[in-house]
Amino acid sequence: MIVSLNAIMFALLAFVACTVTVAYAQALSNATSDYSSLEPIDGNYNLEVPWPGDSWFRRMGEDVKNTFSLNGQEHTSAYDAILHSGSTIVNPVKNFNCYINSFVIPHDISIQMVKSFGNFWGHHAICYLRNFFAGCIVYYGTAGFFHYQCYIHPRSKQIFEDRPRPSRAIIMDQIKQAQASLFVYVLLPAVSEFVIEEGYTKCYY
């Protein structure tokens, strides 16, 4: 029964992930622009950026508390520094990652990351921090559900009727090892985002 519940939960998560991915890909497909014929206006390109667009970080720039200086240049927010560094064309994948980061990671931390690592590596450091935060939520959420089903729910008496329950020390040791491994596991999406954003794959750019 426990295996069935876990299978249903993971299948639901996979369905949601696939649905979001397909919806985002469709939005990109519908909003794709031909950049080759665009002419710069006052040094910038007048582009329609695919969903979520660029209005979200323009709104962030309206708050004077988000303004900071990097290498002698004034920026309206950390994401203004990241998205408009070295190019006037906004990378839609990087734009999407910044959009997610903007409501997962506090902006003060994002600014500090950009100041400490620069707008290039600062962006990837923010993505790593976001992935680590999300990974902890997924781990402790699923592990908490599993723990309840195995050790607290009344059916746990049946599970351990012919075997000893693991001690608290064993459970805590497993949690420590799993938590330590998360520092490495969350590197996978961070590396994936790096190679996609930098054009090393055939993903939409």
| pTM greater than 0.75 | no
Mind listing the pLDDT tens digit for each residue in 70-126?
888 888 888 888 887 655 456 788 888 899 998 899 989 998 999 999 888 999 999
pLDDT band for position 157 (cuts 50, 70, 90): confident
Mind listing the pLDDT tens digit for each residue in 49-80?
677 777 777 788 788 888 888 888 888 888 88
Amino acid identity of residue 96, one-letter, is F
Distance from C-alpha of 125 to C-alpha of 114, rounded to nearest angstrom: 9
